[in-house]
A and B are shown apart, each in its own frame.
Chain A
Amino acid sequence: MPTSEQLKKQKQYQQYVKRITPSHSLPLNMTKAFFTGGLICTLGQWILNAAASLGADKETAGSWCSLLLILLSVILTGLNIYPEIGKFGGAGALVPITGFANSVAASAIEFQTEGQVFGIGCKIFTIAGPVILYGILSSWGLGIVYYILKLMGVIL
């Protein structure tokens, strides 16, 4: 175990390295993320509207929207274009459903050389796995809260 003297030195070193390490400009990154994410969501809204105008109900239009965005993201990942979008847009490209699709498709492409089962099968969700697990877990938790509130008569 390091002594307190060593820990102090380590801390000093970490602060020193942090000081001299350049970082991306936060306002610039946020602007890029805003426009990238905004553009993806606008595209989604356009698909929704288009589906609705073709006579789809709200739920069917929503499904078309998700399906088409995922398809587009997977194709762009296969063509090696989505990494560029992610590099430019950061979280703006990561958070929408297209980012999720990208993380799944990228893993599938990368690990296909290791086989259908141990490669793609085991590793396809290496990045998306935590999102799926904790997404389900938190929706389960929220479901319980909802159920209790309903029993108490807070929610009708």
Chain B
Amino acid sequence: MKPGIPAGTASIEFLQPVYIESAASITGQKEGQGPLGNLFDMVSEDPLFGTKTWEAAESTLQKETASLAIGKAGLTAPDIRMVFAGDLLAQTIASSFGIAEMDIPYYGLYGACSTMGEALSLGAMTVAAGYGEHVLCAASSHFATAEKEFRFPLGYGNQRPLSSTWTVTGSGACVLGSKPPVPEDQKHASPMRYKNGCAVITGITIGKLVDFGFKDSLNMGGCMAPAACSTIAQNLSDFGRTPKDYDAVFTGDLGMIGQQILLDLLSEKNIDLHSVHQDCGLMIYDNETQDTHSGGSGCGCSASVLAAAILPEISRGTWKRILFVPTGAMLSKVSYNEGESVPGIAHAVVIEHSEI
């Protein structure tokens, strides 16, 4: 493989595309009832995923999704050189306990809800540098573990503000590799190969922490939109592109309010994203009927939507080039109680359709 070269001030352009060999997604029931319900590989009716605790449930969810992604690529766990995975829990226990059982070299990540972008970026750099033929990238979130970690016990009766988002119970995983996905006429064919088409990562933009001094952790869109704006503008300038060069730009979980802020902030910079912007948090639920207020959130939101709804369309060629920009709000219960603001971060991954 030829490695990538730095582009602009915060991006990397890969000289040879990094192939997405497979993608898998598993979600909970509420996500299964949403608009994308029948695109997910599996929808679990049991929110505990057959375990006794919420944390073990999320570990199982991530492990099952990762195994599914490896299987869909026609591989087994020993074929994977390393895994980049993360979640929302303190010390990222969902990932470490989940992946531990698979016996694969492991890097744990914390990027809040931007984790899938972080995992894909590091994974793509690793593959492009020739450090691994197959690298697994995964992220997960669970409504119950996130509520417990950041907010109140589930049984506590309180009102959620309209700006709040609903943490997705779900996980998404991708296997990245230096070779194209296995075509359908061969044994172990990958669903990510559509005739001669497949999805490849051609560049990344590494996000900066952006702090607008915003402190309302129940308005995550407001915390994260400035970071998304910064990364998208950086990506366009580093690659010398305009929004027209992308068929779609998917942010992770800005929700209704965050989307409006992002579009407003970008138009201040004379960038018009209206026609191409979509948000995974707005795609996964029907806010009107599912009582999810501003939309979906969590690492699992962008990860599962990417694997289920975005990547298959890219390999089919519906979209030729997209920008995937998961956004994260970097807070903990401690920083919030100590009166700190909530900085945001967003990592961008350029994914293109490629014909072999």
Chain A positions within 8 Å of B, measured between CB atoms, are: 2, 6-7, 9-11, 13-14, 16-17, 20-24, 29, 77-78, 80, 82-87, 89-90, 93-94, 99, 102-103, 105-107, 109-111, 113, 126-127
Contacts and interface: CB of A to CB of B under 8 A. Distances in A.
A17 B213 contact: no
A54 B125 CA distance: 78
Chain A interface mostly helix, strand, loop or mixed? helix
A21 B162 contact: yes
B148 interface: yes
Interface string B47-89: 0000011100000000000000000000000000000000000
B162 A23 contact: yes
Nearest to B148: A110
A90 B159 contact: yes
Nearest to A90: B159
B212 interface: yes
A21 B54 CA distance: 32
A77 B156 CA distance: 8
Contacts of A17: 214, 216, 219, 222, 257, 261
Nearest to A17: B222
Contacts of B213: 2, 6-7, 10-11, 13-14
A7 B211 CA distance: 11
A108 to B, nearest CB: 9
B163 interface: yes
B157 interface: yes
Contact of A21 (B152, B155, B163): B163
Interface of B: 52-54, 148, 152-163, 212-214, 216, 219, 222, 226, 257, 260-261, 264
Nearest to B53: A113
Nearest to A105: B155
Contact of B156 (A13, A21, A106): A106
10 contacts: A14-B214, A77-B155, A78-B155, A84-B157, A86-B156, A87-B158, A106-B154, A109-B153, A109-B155, A113-B52
A85 to B, nearest CB: 6
Contacts of B257: 17, 20-22
Nearest to A112: B53
A8 to B, nearest CB: 10
> Most chain-A CB neighbours within 10 Å: which of B153, B160, B163?
B153
Nearest to B258: A17
A24 B157 contact: no
B142 to A, nearest CB: 14
Contacts of A16: 261, 264
